Structure 1
Amino acid sequence: MQLNQYIDHTLLKSTATPANIEKLCKEALEHRFYAVCLSSSYIKLAKSVLENSNVKIAAVIGFPLGAMTTAAKVFEAKDAIALGADEIDMVINIGMLKAEKIDHIENEIAEIKKAIGSKVLKVIIETCFLTNAEKKTVCRAALNAKADFVKTSTGFGTGGATFDDVKLMKEIAGDKMQIKASGGIKDRETAIKYIELGASRLGTSSGIKLVTSEEN
């Protein structure tokens, strides 16, 4: 299995420096990861390092809490695309989901998707804060809003991806929407299991370890 092509090599810590981001991009080139996932202030830098390569740039939007206005998220997404991002990883408004304001969730996802056109939209639902019913509801909302992916976690909540969550998300997504498992994926065996359960992308800061432990 070409595990490297499933990996979004990720660095989203608030303390990440330009030098750290440059290193992330060089690692992505060396290991031929699918994408780097970073904050939008570093898109230009990433673009300069990744120029003429196949490595995609994914930028996070409304990160990590998701509670800003829809207009702010739409602006942020458009700005990221204008700067050179290929993909957008947005955080839903979790409080609105908890309040069963599903129209708000669906409309927000749809507006961001419309704003970025053919670029890939991943919707972070932050599974650690949700009931199974809420997970299903928000996956349906993302599907209705024409998102490309649903994604488990920011990595900044109380927990990351779980096998059960990916199974549940796959039930709703079927073959109409892809799944990105992220948060806490630290070994090759776990990574492969997520892919077997239906994830087509993995968000991890342990990508190098995952691909270099192949022989073990």
Structure 2
Amino acid sequence: MTENTVDGPELAGLIDHTLLTPEATRQDVLAAAAEAAALGTYSLCVSPAMLPLPESTVPVVAVCGFPSGKHSAAIKATEAAEAVANGASEIDMVINLGLATAGDFASVEAEIAAVRAAVPAPRVLKVIIESAALSDAQVIGCCEASERAGADFVKTSTGFHPAGGASIHAVELMAKTVGGRLGVKASGGIRDRETALAMIAAGATRLGVSGSRNLLQGTAATSGY
């Protein structure tokens, strides 16, 4: 895809409209669900404590092990299974970043596999690797571990790590590594249409965006996921 081939509805259809702030209330989530429907985004991404959310008319994504990833594989699997039981059709799990930085990709694979077993297809599993905090070799290792474990997507970032969010380089590297066999979700710092289109051109097949209305209307947000 290039900037010339993605129109407003197509771009909206690639967005997981996201509300993951710790202070979000039930009313905030209901408002976000209504906004996602009005904008035509692919889904609504929320914290698992906000489920069930029968009011949402778009698919619901729940995060798992968010945002630190410092939960046991068993806890992540249980959290993911509960979210699916409460209506989530997709799970965005955070890896244990320490395992990746130590080069222990077998353990990264094992925890992803545990979550995959808890939420088998057709539920979609995305794996958040915090690409900004990793070397290229570590990004590649995480993508390969995700594929071996049966994930459907690799995802750049939580949007909460101090190292930063998505980058064009990371998305290109992730897309090259998974070779179209998995999707690539770019998230963290995508606040304007230009950035969104650049991420798509780099290989992103899904976007995590909190300021979706501003992005789609061409008004850049100053902050957000």
The alignment's TM-score, normalised by the length of structure 1, stands at 0.94
Matches of 1:200 and 1:171, distance apart in 2: 13
Q: Tell me the amino acid that sits aligned with residue 149 of structure 2.
A: A
Residues matched between the structures, number: 209
1:194 maps to which of 193, 199, 215: 199
1:213 CA displacement? 2.4
Find the counterpart in structure 2 of residue 11 from structure 1: 19
Structure 1: 5+ residue runs without aligned partners?
A: none
SS of 1:8 mapped into structure 2: strand
Find the counterpart in structure 2 of residue 95 from structure 1: 98
Once the two structures are superposed, the pairs formed by residues 120-139 of structure 1 within 5 Å of their partners are: 120-139=124-143
1:59 maps to which of 57, 62, 71: 62
SS of 2:158 mapped into structure 1: coil
The alignment's TM-score, normalised by the length of structure 2, stands at 0.90
1:35 maps to which of 40, 43, 59: 43
Matches of 2:126 and 2:182, distance apart in 1: 10
Find the counterpart in structure 2 of residue 179 from structure 1: 184
Matches of 2:87 and 2:30, distance apart in 1: 16
Q: Tell me the amino acid that sits aligned with residue 40 of structure 1.
A: P
1:175 CA displacement? 1.2
Matches of 1:82 and 1:58, distance apart in 2: 12
Find the counterpart in structure 2 of residue 160 from structure 1: 165
Matches of 1:3 and 1:95, distance apart in 2: 34
Q: Tell me the amino acid that sits aligned with residue 56 of structure 1.
A: P
Q: Which range moves more in the overlay, 159-168 or 100-109? A: 100-109
Matches of 2:202 and 2:111, distance apart in 1: 28
1:25 maps to which of 19, 33, 36: 33
1:179 CA displacement? 0.2
1:15 CA displacement? 0.6
Q: Retained in 1: the 8 A contact 2:132–2:167?
A: no
1:48 CA displacement? 2.1
Matched, 1:81 2:76: no
Structure whose residues are more often helix by fraction? 1
1:115 CA displacement? 1.2
Find the counterpart in structure 2 of residue 48 from structure 1: 54
Matches of 1:68 and 1:160, distance apart in 2: 21
